[in-house]
Chain A
Amino acid sequence: MRAGTLQDLLKAGDRVAVSNITGREAGDVTVASQKYCANVVGGWALGKGGQAIDVPGAPAIPVFAGAGELFAKLPPPKRPNKVVVYSPPLAVYGEVKEIVDHAKGGVETMFIVTEHVSIEVTAKIARLCADANIDVLGGNSLGMINVLDGVRVGAVGGDSPAESFRAGCVAILSNSGNMVNTMASYLQSAGMGISYGISTGKDVLILLPVGDLLELAASDERTKMLVLYVEPGGLYEKRAVEMLTRTKFSKPLIVYVTGQILATRDLSLGHAGAVVEGGQTSAQAKMALFDEYFGLPPFDPETRYRKSPKLTKGLRRGLRITTLHHLPAAAKLIGDMLGIERDFPPAEPLHLNPWFADYRDLARRLPSRVILPAGAIPEPYASYARVATGERLGATPVRRNMRNASHASSNDGRITRIHGYSLEDQMAQGSFVRSVLLAWTGEPVTQTEEELLARCFIAAISNGPGTISAQGVKLSTSAGNEPNTAIIAALACIGDVHGGNGRQAVDYLLKVFRDIDIADPYDRKHGIDLDDLVHRVVDRFAQERDAAKDAGRDYDRIPCLGHPIFKDDAVNFDPRERVVSRFLEERGLYNIFLDFYHRLTLRLKEVGIARNVWAVNIDGAIASVVLAMCWRALREKRITIQRVRSIAFLAFALGRAAGAGGEFLDHQDFGSPMDMRVAVADCEVLTRPKD
């Protein structure tokens, strides 16, 4: 062992390099480490040399092609003295060998995070690194944190190490990386902080075993108590206890031994375990080993411990706990009896604290002691939860790699499916609109929705050759383009102002209705005072408009109101919107969003914001129809808000693409090349010649 103290394994000022740094896990963990303590000087990854990993608020991390290049190119003050190995299992041996070859004595500690490293390779690494005077933690180690110095390597502490690890006097030595975090969190309720959290790894061979770490802890003045998380296998604890006894180790240990359950699964094929290591490797044997060393029965929270020479003598060595959540109580007992001061005021005692609970029918059937009311969510989670739960509508899907993957379509070699529904069945049903909506929403729509959307698609086909999108297709055709290019030209001329208003209307309607619990947007008996809602919306609009005018800045318009042609009557209508509204009226159907829009435009006239009643245009109708169609899925968080906005846009775009096809065919047959060109004489010169 090279280290002389625990601090030698990792301290402030150490320079860390990471192998396979651009890997999925290594990349994330390294960025989190860099944010926490900025101790990573570089990394390497095959084929990624020359890149850099940007870290917000911390130095970027240079990526080299290999360990050799990293050691050669980094200037001496930046050369790493700690290395974290994240390489795939079969590459680990080669990586370690390369590090040893190139580090030339500069590397002091290696942390091997990789899992599934073969035992033979681990044994070889043990030899190789012992010869090179390098201490090795791992394989399958999560790394280490030195809380007092505020530095870590590997993933101990996850994304936010400061959350679990407050500085203090307890060192955690654990076979399980996860338990380092968990136990550190628990100790906060005893007012005990952490000096070091070390994950030894839990492979068959542990290269820096608990005995060695305890020896290092003996001389560490900052560590006053140790917590050991012990799993079955190996004679490491036996040898550690021999060392503790021999050296009269003076710091108390709290030991938790797990893995008894594994004994029942042991096939005990052969006798090698028993013959070679003497049957001392089981959880049961390790429990007995520590109980004997402590000279005390395991901690019992029901026992009233009274100070006595025997108890104090035992506690100086330590205590075993049988349940993990007894850890704070045991730490408190040892602290009180031995006069170890708290590191900070104890956090709230550990208790059952449900963040979310809904027992449904069980609440009536089960004894009340079993039913737990939802408690308080602690910070910082409460803030996240407030923001997240404030969002009543829309799914928040988890992102994944979508290369070669699709929810929208599939083909198993025989059947093509749209969102799981056979394309052939869709063809047999014979509705293009229904199939398009299935492709967009992922769910079958009703007959009424299909008919409503059909009207919206038709409405979008054309609004005359003067529209910007029609001009786009005509220009492209006039330039001699093929139909696909010409239609792209039409679609390229659709934007937020022309055609995209439906998307803005969805945003607007969601802003108004987001916090209103509408169970069914098609139900006229919705129980909502729409007039009151409209009054509030208009009042707010008026205030914002007046304030903006006073301040001399622009204000947000209400989308989809008004029409360039139908604008001069006392009450105006967009005839296309009327088709949609009439369809609903004739069938006795209702759409709360369209109703809202009509009441809104009336109210705007009533309060004098508008001089007459503006038309609700077709984009408003499309948005209302699309939003109602998607409302249930939004409310049940099956689809995203983003998708609904896009569907409103797509509804226009699909109709207009079809219309653009018509303009193309017409222009192609009857037009002549370049006929869309504007004569030079008709162009206005705004810049005087400067040559």
Chain B
Amino acid sequence: MAPQATELFFLQHLAQAFHIPAPEFLTGEATGAEIRKAMTRWGGKALVKPDVLAGRRGKAGAVHLVQDYVSAQKELKRIGGLEVNGRLPRTAYLVQYIPGKREIYTAITYDSRFNGPSITVSLDGGMDVEQIPDEKKVTLPVDVYKGLDAYQASELLGRLGLTGSVANTVSLCLVDFWDLFITTGMRTCEINPWRITPEGKCFACDFKAVFDEANFKYKNLAAKPPEYPAQVTLFEEEMSAWNASSHQGQAHAVELGGDMVLPILFGGGASTIIAETLLQHGGNPIILSDFGGNPPYERMLGTARICFEHHLGKAAVLLILGGKANNTLIDVTFQSIADALRAYVDAHGPIHTPVVVGRGGPRLVKGMLILRDALSALGMPYVIFGPDTPVTQVAEYAATLARASKGNGGVA
């Protein structure tokens, strides 16, 4: 999953660096004296928010207005442990309350209509922005080389009817917003809302961003978005670290919560359709995986080992499946899988989980024979299909075999 950042990261690391006006804030670790002092400075009003990777915090009742020091401390504790849409916050934080006369929605993202970045602005920001009708929002493509200038920003706001000194202030903020987006290697960034105070000042009052891991600017960022709790399972965590350790071959896997088929899948496209077919036919896949991209031996060995260690014990069927590969060398990947299976049996003792295999591609027969011999030596039942059997039919069969195996007292 691409790295993401929330408001607290923005307040701590980005707002000041990019001259984006934002409310003052204190983290949950602030001392009583600091909170008391800040509340006084802020006019006695503040918001307590959870730092959580979930949208719609306000709607979920997780953003709380506090008006005194005692409730601020209490709410910081309460909201710090409050689950929001199934996710636990990393911490809670206190942010200066900004009175708003107007709320503006802005997002910069790469837009498939222009094959480049675009900025979207609406004067109907705040909550329920998905409902904003087309006529109340404007999207403008941004030249990826030249960027967004104040004139374009001002014209954009003008098209929505925002003019005058407020428009000037917001225009300058949008230029900085673009600067933030393009300088840090983001893929999508949203500030919603910009709150305009009665005095005409503009503050970025919430923030979400998704970074592009492939962008060197993100890689070079001094501060990286923090790890958020309960985002990933131990398996996903391990797999993600393993995936990041090399660019040779993919090692993408997420848990799907199933308990029937352990799918070791190749090719992004094939992986998704196989997992969907397994689901359609009651094969409850344990994971969604994509291990294509011609992984070298060591890469695939490590990948298979992690998958087996976490999930092979509970699988009714081990499915090794991919379409007809263009580049991926089948003998290399199958040798790795065979060796990982041997290592698993060495560590855990014999297993009799049936193995369903389907594959096509370079050095196929050699790969199949390597795997077949290994499975024979390990005493594991197997059915091996070639590229003449469609992957979706193999997946359907694996689901059927898993159901039949479970229905017959498991696979011992």
Q: Name A's B-contacting residues (CB within 8 A).
A: 25, 28-29, 89-90, 115-124, 126-127, 142, 155-159, 164, 174-179, 181-182, 185-186, 202, 204-207, 209, 229, 231, 233-236, 239, 256, 258-262, 265, 267-279, 281, 323-325, 348, 350-363, 365-367, 370, 372, 377-378, 381, 384-385, 388-389, 396-398, 400, 636-637
Contacts and interface: CB of A to CB of B under 8 A. Distances in A.
A352 B268 contact: no
B113 interface: yes
B369 A359 contact: no
B54 to A, nearest CB: 7
A450 B235 CA distance: 45
B393 A276 contact: no
A178 B381 contact: no
A636 B129 CA distance: 65
B389 A350 contact: yes
Given A353-B385, A370-B401, A276 B326 contact: no
B115 A126 contact: yes
Interface stretch (B21-29, B61-69, B74-82, B182-190): B182-190
B4 A231 contact: no
Contacts of A90: 216
B411 A119 contact: no
A259 B272 contact: yes
A385 B112 contact: no
B130 A279 contact: yes
Interface string B348-365: 000010100000111011
Nearest to B143: A127
Interface stretch (B30-38, B91-99, B304-312, B317-325): B317-325
A181 B292 CA distance: 15
A157 B326 contact: yes
A29 B325 CA distance: 12
B95 to A, nearest CB: 18
Nearest to A207: B115
Contacts of A637: 373, 377
B216 A118 contact: yes
B169 interface: no
Nearest to A160: B362
B62 to A, nearest CB: 14
A354 B408 contact: no
A272 B380 CA distance: 49
Nearest to B336: A398
Contact of B335 (A176, A365, A397): A397
Contacts of A350: 388-390, 393
Contact of B55 (A164, A233, A268, A281): A268
A324 B273 contact: yes
Nearest to B297: A400
Contact of A362 (B111, B385, B411): B411
Contact of A270 (B190, B380, B394): B190
Contacts of A273: 109, 188
Contacts of A164: 324
A142 B385 CA distance: 25
Contact of B390 (A156, A186, A267, A378): A186
B365 A388 contact: yes
A353 B357 CA distance: 12
Which has the most chain B C-beta neighbours within 10 Å: A157, A268, A356?
A356
Contacts of B364: 381
A276 B107 contact: yes
Given A271-B55, A396-B369, A324 B390 contact: yes
B44 interface: no
Contacts of B294: 25
Interface residues of B, number: 115
B383 A127 contact: no
A281 to B, nearest CB: 8
Interface string B151-162: 000000000000
Which residue among B111, B118, B268, B401 has the maximum number of chain A CB atoms within 10 Å of its CB?
A: B268
Contacts of B370: 396, 398
Nearest to B384: A356
Interface in B171-225: 182, 185, 187-190, 192, 208-210, 212, 214-217
A479 B404 CA distance: 78
A275 B112 contact: no
Given A279-B130, A325-B393, A158 B324 contact: yes
A116 B405 contact: no
B148 interface: no
Contact of B292 (A122, A178, A367): A178
Nearest to B400: A370
Given A182-B391, A269-B4, A276-B120, A398 B331 contact: yes
Contacts of A359: 354, 381, 383
Given A229-B269, A366-B408, A119 B4 contact: no
13 contacts: A178-B270, A182-B391, A258-B272, A267-B1, A270-B210, A271-B55, A273-B188, A276-B109, A355-B386, A361-B352, A372-B383, A378-B388, A398-B335
Contacts of B256: 261
B254 interface: yes
Interface string B118-141: 101010000001101010010100
A202 B405 contact: no
A194 to B, nearest CB: 14
Nearest to A124: B144
Nearest to A376: B388
Nearest to A113: B327
Given A119-B215, A272-B188, A362-B354, A178 B322 contact: yes
Given A119-B212, A236-B112, A275-B130, A357 B383 contact: yes
Contacts of A206: 112, 115
A670 B129 CA distance: 101
Given A176-B267, A181-B323, A277-B112, A353 B388 contact: yes
A51 to B, nearest CB: 22
B170 to A, nearest CB: 18
Contacts of A385: 365, 368-369
Contacts of B298: 400
B284 interface: no
B382 interface: yes
B270 A118 contact: no
Nearest to B141: A123
B288 interface: yes
Given A122-B115, A358-B381, A381-B386, 13 more contacts: A117-B214, A120-B182, A121-B215, A158-B362, A176-B267, A178-B267, A178-B269, A181-B360, A275-B130, A365-B409, A366-B405, A372-B397, A398-B332
A354 B356 CA distance: 10
B327 A351 contact: no
B251 interface: no
A358 B326 contact: no
Considering the complex of A and B, which 3 residue pairs feature the smallest CB-CB distances, nearest first?
A176-B269, A234-B112, A325-B390
A105 to B, nearest CB: 21
A207 B116 CA distance: 10
A229 B269 CA distance: 9
B190 A271 contact: yes
Given A142-B326, A360-B379, A323 B277 contact: yes
B288 to A, nearest CB: 6
A348 B143 CA distance: 53
Contact of B404 (A124, A260, A262, A366): A366
A398 B369 CA distance: 12
Contacts of B122: 275
Nearest to A161: B326
A397 B339 CA distance: 11
A175 to B, nearest CB: 7
A389 B386 CA distance: 16
Contacts of B400: 370
B9 interface: no
A119 B272 CA distance: 22
A384 B368 CA distance: 11
A235 B216 contact: no
Contact of A388 (B134, B366, B390): B366
